[in-house]
Amino acid sequence: MFSRYPTMDDDLIDDDGVELGLPSPLEMARHKCTILHSELRQVWSELRRSRSNVAKLVQINSLLASDLEAVRRECDKARWELSDMQGRTGN
């Protein structure tokens, strides 16, 4: 006769994928360490790349600042010459 209640023989728990057993706490800790080590290597690589990019940007900024200063001097000289010419012509 059939019982209305499940028995221990019934397969109520889905245990697919754990045929080899669950990892031990030590195995899980080692796996976590492996993942963290991999992420750390990636972060260090990104940090090196970022530092290199910052160094390049500092160089570019320095060159642009020099160029800007030269252009400002030329502009000031042109203004002075224009003012001098206007003063001579009486305008």
pLDDT of residue 54: 98
How far is 84 from 2, CA to CA, in rounded Å? Answer: 114
* Measured CA distances, 15 to 5, 18, 22, 31, 32 (Å): 21, 6, 11, 22, 23
pLDDT of residue 15: 67
Considering the domain boundaries, does residue 2 fall inside one? no
Considering the domain boundaries, does residue 56 fall inside one? yes
pLDDT of residue 5: 57
- Give the residue among 35, 17, 19 at the shortest CA–CA distance from 27: 35
How far is 81 from 78, CA to CA, in rounded Å? Answer: 5
Considering the domain boundaries, does residue 20 fall inside one? no
pLDDT at 1 over 60: no
Residue 53 lies in domain? 25-91
pLDDT in tens, 24-62: 899 999 999 999 999 999 999 999 999 999 999 999 999
How far is 43 from 37, CA to CA, in rounded Å? Answer: 10
* pTM of the model as a whole: 0.55
Query: pLDDT-based confidence at 3, cuts 50/70/90?
Result: low
Q: 12 with 6: CB under 8 angstroms?
A: yes
Q: What total of structural domains would you count in the chain? A: 1
Considering the domain boundaries, does residue 10 fall inside one? no
Considering the domain boundaries, does residue 32 fall inside one? yes
